[in-house]
Structure 1
């Protein structure tokens, strides 16, 4: 008896380091009516074979904390799905989440010689909705923006999207391209997004440029200079400046987004730039060269017209001369080609007959 007792005492038990259960996310959160997955793995010594796996729900009964098999709880019938195996995967999915699913969950597995249950638990939170907030919702470029996703979960793991594209960090320094609509979702349930909220990043005018509507400018023609820029809010003030060859300074010559020259003159030649302004700042375009040919276009048109008339008169004159010569040649040809005969008078004919 004593020998058997000593043998029992000296027999080594299971090595705890070889037996383990690991939860990838120990604090999952799910939307009511959706599904949530508990990703789980377990290990055991080589040579053991798993004979049974079970998930339990923790709860109080008779003022004592106990674990209840999900398979024996009526409220989980047809809603809990074990998607693991009897190797090392112990993952579980709970469908159609309800408010009372919030709580602690445990995993247990048995081998032919030993049973092991998780020391830690998975705490599931169920929330009815999620809401997105951008703080603040209107900023200047360079300001700090914080994205906040509101849920009733204790430790929610959330992901963010901007106009449908993932956002790397929930806090960042706002840039011009960060304007847009933001929405959040619980990690693992990205198909269910919160209502979107807008972020408006304001900035002074950028990329100011001048568009010129002309080909080759000559005196008397027209041209428009149009100032374009990107800004938020849009630029509300435009000023035009000109630099001439005789002056190194810029002189204000107009205002408004479009500066028009209905009839340019040689004096309009010079370098022009546009200055765009909004409440946040100001920026200038590059200088654009406007060159006006000194040739008077009206005088040029007059000369062209006179030339055309001279050509027409010459052509008409040549046509008349050609027609006259052609007529003369036709008359000569008719005289040369007439019948040959002698003009003999009747008197001469009578004398000829008496001689016979």
Structure 2
């Protein structure tokens, strides 16, 4: 955006022009009625657009009859010395913005519209009334000027956003200046979160602005959502419309929605334990700690972090309460049991048990390698034992000689055939 004092040389040139204008007006004011004009100090517009200049003036009552035959002009401060000279020809005048007075002079309203503006038209402008009294010209000019700044780009719109609370309907207002009443900007919200209306407002200094009012009910899902306020300005020329936007991040206030406890460190006798309470809430919640033992709750304090050196007295259920101005919520109970042995002692016992297990494993492996030798000897002994047993059994079932012939005849099992030795020999052959 172009500024009035863009460089020391420009500042010096503008100061010289203002000094010339002031001295010229002051010299004329010695004999003439001073014109008092009320205009804004600064007005902004865009190249290719127009500009509404709110203007009111006041003169003495006896001079009001001059307004019927008066001509109204706006003179640039930097060209003041050229207006009444032959050097200010028609070609130079055509480069100046076209001016139209839309106010009623008889009602002392000098509101005007400038058209075909460009960035080269940025300057101080003075309201001037010129009239003719017979053969004598009469003019009135006030020392008060309006600085008109014409930029090639658009200024970002402004956003008015109240406090957003979950479940309560609110209005978000996006406002863009409307320097050209015949071509007001199109202002809208993106994304469209609810109902939207557009209205034109007359500001205190007489300028106009266009606002888009977005009405919706915020929820947790809208928190940290980015929304855009977009302003589209149509132009008199055939160029594409200029677009300007401002992005805002919504901050929705809501009660705690989730609360949890995280544990850092190992729980052993004498170890350092840290409990951290976290919650999802806006504004951030305060956290209150409780411990529950044998059904009785005891308050431990208010903090985000609870740290202690573990003893058996710290055994219990830990609870964290999160609270902000909109509500409260407790966490799930965290059971902590502190064993009666320290971590170092536990490691010593674990090392001893490990050594014992390794020793037993060594003995088992050693005996495993010795067992095959003893098993072979035992197998041989079993074979010989089985053979002896079979021999004994065969002798027990061998038939005994029968001495008593009558007995042998009675018991056919033990009856033996009487043979002679010769028959036995031949029989064997």
Query: Which structure carries more helix by proportion?
Result: 2
Query: Which structure carries more strand by proportion?
Result: 1
TM-score category, normalised to shorter length:
0.3 to 0.5
The TM-score with structure 1 as length reference comes to 0.42
The TM-score with structure 2 as length reference comes to 0.36
